[in-house]
Amino acid sequence: MTQPVSLIVNQSPVPRFAVGPTKAREPHLAVVYATASGEVVCIDGRPLSPGQQVFSRYRTRYEVDMRPQHRSAVLRNNPLVSRDGVHAFEVTLSFTFRVDGWKGAEDFVRAGLTDPLPLVHGHLISLFHGAGQLFSIEDSFGLQRHLNQLCAAPANLPQGLVVDGCRASVRPDTKALAFLESLIDADWKERRDSAEHLPAVGGAHRGGQLDAIKQSYEIESTKRQADSFAGMLTNSEGLIRHYLVTHPGDAAGAFEMSRQLEAARMATAELQNQRALGLFQVMAEKGLIVAGDLDLLRQQLTGQVGMATGGHVPLSATAPPALPGARPWDAPATAPAQLTAPPQQTPAPMPPQQQPAPGQPQMYEPTLVVPVQSDAAPAPAAFSGAALIYLVLDESLDRGCLDELNRGLASLHSALSGAPGVSAALRLCVLGMAAATELRLPLDTVLPSTRTPILTGRPGLSYAHAFRTLQALLRQDVALVKTQRTQVLRPIVFFLTGGVPDEGIGWRSAYAELVDQGGNSVAPHMIALGLGSAEASTVRVLATRPEFGFMAAPHQDAASAAHSVAAFLRDTIVGYGQRLGAGDPQFTLAAPDGFRSAEDAL
């Protein structure tokens, strides 16, 4: 509250024998007289005349200020608590009070008040008591309207005062005000961000469109570059030529790459030659060489020396020896069961192939027949083309199966690399299949310098990924072999699976694209083999011909079945290479030991 206010501006005794006129009063003052017994009277606010004073019973004269008093106050000691019972409102009051006429002057003097402000303050406190609990701390304007309605009408106090002109101003306390300001700032930020969102989205769309246009141009440029280099070999020499084309000013660098490549080849060939000669020496010292082996060893050793000079064919023209049908870890191989055919029927070629679109590689079908006995036939010339063989092997099998398959791959590598005349017509590629399909041996002729592929156990099994990887490799490999001016037979894929694919039947579309000879000019023949938990119906679908699908017997354990598959792959591939080397492109299949046709297993 403000400083104390005194409405009684003068208090004096009434003189009995005053000489001269009575003291006059100012217009805004009311004169009130009081007797010795406390009786109070105001004679229209006028003072007594001298004659009245002589015989008057009044002993004290009061002069009361009748003017309105304007004051303001802040309710600090009696704050209005909000609805939550914790926060309080800050209320500032502006009000006016005055003496209510002559009667009010009498009542005021009779009340004996020296300062009317506490009286007025108490009246306002009682008037506003509990009003804050009707409103939340956020609704300060609502409380302000309510308080102004409560004090809108003038209030007559019993002490002769009138309180009017009251106006309340309300705001939250400091803590609540900071909270409300944070809410307002958050709302403003949300509205500002919403306003900025639309142009930001438009800018992002426009930027994305520009990026897409740039990317399309980059893809087109990359495609044109790939097409321009499509005729180059993707071997070391081709990569060096590519570098020289793209860096014409660095001929010295390209020459240095070529020199280092030749040096590395010479060092590798020399090392292999030394190993071969050392092996021959050890075998001779231990008496392990007999006269019948000298011819074969001579060809192999001269082949190593020939490769040391950069060649890839043996120096001797002697026909390669026939490979045995069994390996040290394998049981003796039995004669293959030929594919059945109607009696007295000549070799039946595959149905005519679809003509590829212009620019696509021309494929030649291998002759898939059953040999027929003939009394005499002229010796055919050696096949000068290339048969592409792909092995897609399941790496999700257990360790025992993978060990059998790895030993089989090592035996196949040894058989082909030791007989250049057999491997010359073959190109071998090995893929490991799991959740993702990985390349274990790129397509190449198997030579003594070729590394032996090794399968690695991995989780998961995805046919779709294998088929897409295989299709990409086929397009690349066929185009690469065609650049060597070599006739390419339609690829043959040996597909070994030992489980159910993770994608269910989601692989079928990728498989259909792979084997569709109408839409895919490099579509392969698919030979499917199933063991373990593989399904016979799936193996039958995977095989491109009914006689190309084989399932292990139900009682055969997975490791034994993998052993049979390894022997089957070695014997079939080596036998096919021997026939191609002899000029006979016939391709025959015999079921692996312990396997049966997938159709019979259904």
d(CA 235, CA 232): 9
pLDDT of residue 5: 86
pLDDT of residue 281: 74
d(CA 57, CA 390): 139
Q: Please report the beta strands in 106-160, taking only residues with DSSP state E, as ranges in sequence order.
A: 155-156
pLDDT of residue 268: 81
What number of other Cβ atoms are within 10 A of residue 320's Cβ?
A: 21
pLDDT of residue 399: 95
Q: Crossing angle, helix 399-417 and helix 558-581, to 10 degrees?
A: 20
pLDDT of residue 328: 33
Segments in the chain below pLDDT 50: 233, 303-355, 357, 359, 369-376
What is the DSSP track for 186-199? HHHHHHHHHHHHHH
Q: Is 489 helix (H, G, I), strand (E, B) or coil?
A: strand
pLDDT of residue 409: 96
pTM of the predicted model, to two decimals? 0.43
pLDDT of residue 295: 53
pLDDT of residue 349: 40
Q: Are 549 and 495 in contact (CB under 8 A)?
A: no
d(CA 347, CA 371): 7
Q: What digits encode the pLDDT tens for the residues 343-397? A: 333 333 444 444 454 545 555 566 554 344 444 455 566 677 889 999 999 999 9
d(CA 200, CA 410): 61
Helix (H), strand (E) at residue 63: strand 58-65
Q: What digits encode the pLDDT tens for the residues 443-467? A: 999 999 999 999 999 999 999 999 9
